[in-house]
């Protein structure tokens, strides 16, 4: 294996930084990450040495995963020990054909402003109340947010609770 020169390391760091900033910008603008022709015959190919592929889906997903972890950490720090509301919705992802659940937190920040933040999207095996509750507890627990601090709940999938003959208030 050939060691990189300090100049090559600096160039790779610069390319990676530019990639991260581009992904952040695209996410803030709600734009797709892919979509242009980057095949071997395209004029739109990434110009990088050897096998470096900063636009590969795996690299982009890895960067998005790191950014999303940082956002969740920041949100959970902002909530801290304060009371919060939980908003949950479930739907089937039409591309992967998997059930998924979104978790949104509503809370008052340190400056007194009401915030509503998308906290996580979780793939679930089914959308029964028991499964949803288990996954909600897992997500909140990983981020040191506690059920005892929930002061309100909203579930768009209330018909699922009725179909299963359960109370939609999963925690109270």
pLDDT value of residue 62: 87
Statement to judge: residues 97 and 138 lie in one domain: yes
Same domain, 47 and 86: no
The percent of residues in the chain predicted with pLDDT above 70, rounded, is 77
Please tell me whether residues 82 and 35 are part of one structural domain: no
Q: What is the pLDDT of residue 107?
A: 93
The confidence score (pLDDT) of residue 127 equals 81
Residue 138, CA distances (Å) to 8, 48, 78, 127, 135 in order: 42, 41, 19, 15, 5
94-113 per-position pLDDT tens digit: 888 888 888 999 999 888 89
- Kindly give the parts of the chain with pLDDT less than 70: 1-2, 33-40, 42-55, 157-172
Q: Can you give the pLDDT at residue 155?
A: 77
Domain with residue 155: its CATH number is 3.30.420.40
What's the structural domain count of the chain? 2
Q: Are residues 51 and 88 in the same domain?
A: no
Whether 123 maps to a domain, the answer reads yes
pLDDT score, position 130: 85
**Would you say residue 172 lies in a domain?**
no
């Amino acid at each position: 294996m050939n060691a990189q020169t300090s100049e090559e390391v600096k160039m790779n760091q610069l390319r990676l930084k530019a990639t991260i900033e581009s992904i952040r910008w695209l996410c803030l603008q709600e734009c797709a990450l892919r979509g242009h022709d980057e095949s071997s015959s395209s004029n739109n190919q990434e110009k990088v040495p050897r096998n470096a592929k900063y636009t590969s889906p795996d690299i982009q997903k890895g960067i998005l995963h790191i950014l999303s972890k940082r956002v969740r950490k920041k949100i959970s720090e902002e909530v801290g020990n304060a009371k919060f509301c939980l908003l949950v919705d479930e739907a089937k992802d039409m591309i992967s054909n998997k059930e998924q659940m979104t978790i949104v937190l509503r809370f008052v920040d340190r400056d007194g402003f009401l915030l509503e933040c998308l906290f996580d999207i979780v793939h679930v095996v089914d959308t029964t109340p028991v499964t949803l509750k288990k996954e909600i507890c897992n997500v909140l627990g990983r981020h040191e947010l506690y059920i005892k601090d929930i002061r309100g709940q909203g579930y768009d999938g209330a018909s699922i609770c009725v179909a299963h003959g359960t109370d939609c208030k999963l925690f109270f």
